[in-house]
Amino acid sequence: MKWRKLGHIFDPSKHSLPNNCAEYAQSPQALVLQDRVRIYFSTRESEANGKFLSHIAFVDFNKKMDCCLGVSDRPVISLGSLGCFDEHGIFPMNVVQHGEDIYGFTCGWSRRVSVSVETSIGIAVSRDGGRTFERRADGPVMTSSLREPMLVGDPFVVMLGGVWHMWYIFGVKWAPANNVDPAPARVYKIAHATSVDTINWARDGKQIISDVFGPDECQALPTVLKIGRRFHMYFCFRQATDFRKNPHRGYRLGYAFSDDLVTWTRDDQSAGISFSPNGWDSAMLCYPHLFESEGSVYLLYNGNEFGRRGFGLARFEG
Amino acid sequence: MIRIAAVVRFTCLAALSDHPDMFKWVKLGKVFDPTTGSRSEWMKEFAQAPCVLKFEDFIRVYFSCRPAPDSRGQYVSRSAYLDLDRKNLFNILSISEQPTIGLGDLGSFDEFGTYPTSVIRWNGQVWAYYGGWTRCDSVPFNVAIGLAVSNDDGATFSKSGPGPVLSYSQEEPFVISGPKIRQFGDKMFLFYIAGERWLTNSGRPEPVYRIRMASSRDGLIWKKHNEDLIPRRLETNECQASPDVYFSNGRYHMFFCYRYGLDYRNHSRGYRIGYAVSEDLEHWARDDSRAGIDVSSEGWDSEMVSYPHVFELDGSVYMLYLGNQVGRHGFGLARLEGSL
């Protein structure tokens, strides 16, 4: 796979965003509209207790992706009510248009005590062309289950042949804190679910992408696009610990392909995109998102510090 | 014949009670007090949500108990059982030496408690459905229902998986708890509670929960009914728990408990036992005035009665239930006069 990096296209600190959000534009997700490409991302509001709330905002680009048209001027979706799965953040929201309907598949965050967080997947619907979304219900459509004990999140949804396919992640464990890592460390893997109605999902809790770092590898944010007859998946992966500031252990992009949506062959060597020698994506690459606009295939992704300074873009060159 | 018998019974009871159809439970007293009857560190107080599994010579009563609270006053809840002599239900034959279900790993849904537990014989094994407790930041806890299976007749259990078997969903966003497992025909039914909303309560949030139902062919994949089964009676914040369903004389009888949503740790707003009846498990007619069991004027169950469990044994129908402080000092027994 060959990619041409088009650079750091969005820096949240250079825009005025709702909810007093000034830093982070994480997990960019595109909705290709008739006259523009709307890119949703998660940005952060600081609370007095030092914790963050993740909010969804968007920025519009022209369809050639070379001109920024403006950012959302109001909250895109509210956070969940007291005690709900998405009370403390939505990160990310995958937006899918199907006929007249625009769905937002959310990864909702709620804080825990013995570990930092738990996540589940919810659904929201937009009735104004993707400017705002309302959750369909207070509860999630996918949460932990017998074989997926925690941290169900990062949905990426596509309708293929009348069936909804979702790639997502689930947690396999929290490793206890130790001398090196003062907080418990989570480990999560990529899985696949299908549905005919977007509400009831069939899943078997099986990891579909093999590990290269071993059982403690963390795999996140799968994104899938069909090019020709082959399905291509990008995702990010890292070591479970010491990953925030150590580029040797932090997020980078992984790649896998499949011809049948059942068996995936991992082939990171063919990913075709890696760290830049210097600059905004020199120490980390994460949260990839594939989409097509005007006949070109693009890859959105975050760089250093998990997208604190925004995201960049690359174009597929074959 | 059945109809004639019912008329006779109602006639007899009319002289004893206000409601002509009221059941009459005779309180037999407290069966077990963990604060005096246990020597285990993990069973210091509370014996909650009793549930019976019958054996030839004894009945095994599962319940949830607690070790002493931690330095911040927080409890974990453990699952236990005791065996009662079938010929004298006040004769305790033995108490489980270890908790029957382990606590979950770090970050799991059942890390901080397994309460309550409901068991059933199924596929030659004993299956236990339990509420798994985790601790949250903005609200004190969340609960989802787990499954553990026993291959030694209910003495020890291993979990069917590290996650819950019945958890939060669109219409039931949190606090999926209080499972009661039943088999009717070839289907399994879970009666349980689901949180409806959290009350902010001046920074000490309290959940409002209602009685719900799900059904399954295999006990693993559940279809939620997604309806409240029992209408509210006290107030919009009424909380309902312990939906204990018993089939008798062609009808499904449910004894449950209910209380006010806030300030409920006292006589006037605490748990009482309610009753509802159904022909089809989906439509229930609530009539608490028929429940026939209430707080005593004094003693261990004078402030509240809760967590009923009804079972039949050797021709009699019994109810195990909790008294004051939701079972801090254990559970007691009542026997039904007549039949359901």
- A112-158 pLDDT, tens digit per residue, is 999 999 999 999 999 999 999 999 999 999 999 999 999 999 999 99
Contacts with A113 from chain B: Cβ below 8 Å: 134-137
d(CA B204, CA B192): 24
d(CA A266, CA A269): 9
Structure tokens belonging to residue A279: 């600059």
B169 to chain A, minimum CA–CA distance in Å?
A: 5
Distance set, CA A236 to CA A108, A255, B239 (Å): 19, 8, 45
Q: Which of B136, B141, B175 would you mutate first to test chain A, the one with the most A CBs within 10 A?
A: B136
d(CA A220, CA A116): 17
- The alpha carbon of residue B249 and the mean position of all alpha carbons in its chain are separated, in whole angstroms, by 22
For residue range A286-313, what is the model confidence (pLDDT) as tens digits?
999 999 999 999 999 999 999 999 999 9
Q: Give percent helix, percent strand, percent coil of chain A, each to the nearest 5.
A: 5, 50, 45
Cβ of B106 within 8 Å of Cβ of A140? The answer is no
Cβ of B170 within 8 Å of Cβ of A114? The answer is no
d(CA A171, CA A178): 19
Helix, strand, or coil here: B144? strand
Contacts of B159 (CB under 8 A, 6+ apart): B101, B102, B146, B147, B148, B149
Task: Please name which of A60, A56, A59, A28 lies closest in space to residue A43, comparing C-alpha atoms.
Answer: A56
What backbone torsions phi and psi does residue A278 show, to the nearest 5 degrees?
-155, 170
CB of A184 within 8 Å of a chain B CB? The answer is yes
CB of B112 within 8 Å of a chain A CB? The answer is yes
A–B interface: beta-carbon pairs under 8 A: 127
Each of the 340 residues of chain B gets a pLDDT tens digit; together they read: 344 444 444 433 444 446 778 999 999 999 999 999 888 999 999 999 999 999 999 999 999 999 999 999 999 999 999 999 999 999 999 999 999 999 999 999 999 999 999 999 999 999 999 999 999 999 999 999 999 999 999 999 999 999 999 999 999 999 999 999 999 999 999 999 999 999 999 999 999 999 999 999 999 999 999 999 999 999 999 999 999 999 999 999 999 999 999 999 999 999 999 999 999 999 999 999 999 999 999 999 999 999 999 999 999 999 999 999 998 999 999 999 988 8
For residue range B264-303, what is the model confidence (pLDDT) as tens digits?
999 999 999 999 999 999 999 999 999 999 999 999 999 9
In which region does residue B249 sit, left (phi positive, over 0), alpha (psi from -120 to 50) or beta (all else)?
Answer: left
Cβ of A145 within 8 Å of Cβ of B135? The answer is no
What pLDDT is attached to residue A181?
Answer: 81
CB of B140 within 8 Å of a chain A CB? The answer is no
Cβ of A115 within 8 Å of Cβ of B136? The answer is no
Cβ of A173 within 8 Å of Cβ of B139? The answer is no
CB of A177 within 8 Å of a chain B CB? The answer is no
d(CA A30, CA A104): 11
What residue type is A200 in one-letter code? N
- Which of B135, B164, B205 is the closest to A145 by Cβ? B164
Give B250's DSSP letter: T
Contacts with A148 from chain B: Cβ below 8 Å: 163
Cβ of A174 within 8 Å of Cβ of B163? The answer is no
Prior bond to B20 cis, omega within 30? no
Cβ of B162 within 8 Å of Cβ of A147? The answer is yes
CB of A84 within 8 Å of a chain B CB? The answer is yes
- The residue behind tokens 């004051």 is B324
Cβ of A115 within 8 Å of Cβ of B109? The answer is no
- Which of B105, B165, B170 is the closest to A146 by Cβ? B165
CB of A50 within 8 Å of a chain B CB? The answer is no
Cβ of B161 within 8 Å of Cβ of A171? The answer is no
d(CA A116, CA A188): 15
d(CA A41, CA B216): 40
Q: How many residues does chain A have?
A: 318
- Are residues A39 and A130 in contact, defined by beta-carbon separation less than 8 angstroms? no
A136 to chain B, minimum CA–CA distance in Å?
A: 8
d(CA B80, CA B98): 7
What backbone torsions phi and psi does residue B37 show, to the nearest 5 degrees?
-100, 0
What residue type is B167 in one-letter code? S
B118 to chain A, minimum CA–CA distance in Å?
A: 18
CA closest to A115 among chain B residues: B107
Task: Please name which of B309, B304, B322 lies closest in space to residue B267, comparing C-alpha atoms.
Answer: B304
A148 to chain B, minimum CA–CA distance in Å?
A: 6
- Which of A139, A148, A184 is the closest to B106 by Cβ? A184
- The residue behind tokens 């408690």 is B113
CB of B147 within 8 Å of a chain A CB? The answer is yes
d(CA B227, CA B235): 18
C-alpha torsion sign, points B305, B190, B170, B227: negative
In which region does residue B185 sit, left (phi positive, over 0), alpha (psi from -120 to 50) or beta (all else)?
Answer: left
| Mean pLDDT value of segment A11-39 | 95
- Which of B160, B163, B168 is the closest to A85 by Cβ? B168
Contacts of A247 (CB under 8 A, 6+ apart): A275, A282, A283, A284
Judge residue A230's burial from the number of C-beta atoms within 10 Å of its C-beta, 0-12 exposed, 13-18 middle, 19 or more buried. Answer: exposed
Give A19's DSSP letter: G
Q: How many residues does chain B have?
A: 340
What pLDDT is attached to residue B19?
Answer: 75
DSSP per-residue codes, B273-325: EEEEEESSSSSEEE-GGGS-----SSSTTSS--EEEEEEEETTEEEEEEE-HH
CB of A163 within 8 Å of a chain B CB? The answer is no
Prior bond to A149 cis, omega within 30? no
Cβ of A83 within 8 Å of Cβ of B137? The answer is no
For residue range A201-243, what is the model confidence (pLDDT) as tens digits?
999 999 999 999 999 999 999 999 999 999 999 999 999 999 9
Cβ of A144 within 8 Å of Cβ of B144? The answer is yes
Q: ipTM value, please give it.
A: 0.95
Query: How big is the CA angle at B16 (ends B15 and B18), to the nearest 5 degrees?
Result: 90
Structure tokens belonging to residue A173: 């464990």
d(CA A116, CA B27): 47
DSSP per-residue codes, B187-232: EEEEEEEEEEEEE-GGGS-EEEEEEEEEEESSSSS-EE--S-SS--
B53 to chain A, minimum CA–CA distance in Å?
A: 25
Element (H, E) at B23: none
CATH for A3-316, among 1.10.1660.10, 2.115.10.20, 3.90.1010.10, 2.60.40.1080? 2.115.10.20
Contacts of A211 (CB under 8 A, 6+ apart): A217, A219
Cβ of A83 within 8 Å of Cβ of B106? The answer is no
Contacts with B164 from chain A: Cβ below 8 Å: 144-146
d(CA B93, CA B14): 39
Query: How big is the CA angle at A120 (ends A115 and A125), to the nearest 5 degrees?
Result: 145
Cβ of A114 within 8 Å of Cβ of B111? The answer is yes
Cβ of B107 within 8 Å of Cβ of A150? The answer is yes
Helix, strand, or coil here: A30? strand
CA closest to B161 among chain A residues: A146
Cβ of B164 within 8 Å of Cβ of A144? The answer is yes
- The residue behind tokens 């009914």 is B225
A175 to chain B, minimum CA–CA distance in Å?
A: 8
What pLDDT is attached to residue B18?
Answer: 61
End-to-end CA distance of chain A: 6
CB of B148 within 8 Å of a chain A CB? The answer is no
B58 to chain A, minimum CA–CA distance in Å?
A: 33
d(CA A75, CA A216): 36
Number of H helices, E strands in chain A: 1, 20
CB of A120 within 8 Å of a chain B CB? The answer is yes
Cβ of B106 within 8 Å of Cβ of A110? The answer is no
Contacts of A139 (CB under 8 A, 6+ apart): A84, A85, A122, B168, B169, B170, B171, B172, B173, B174
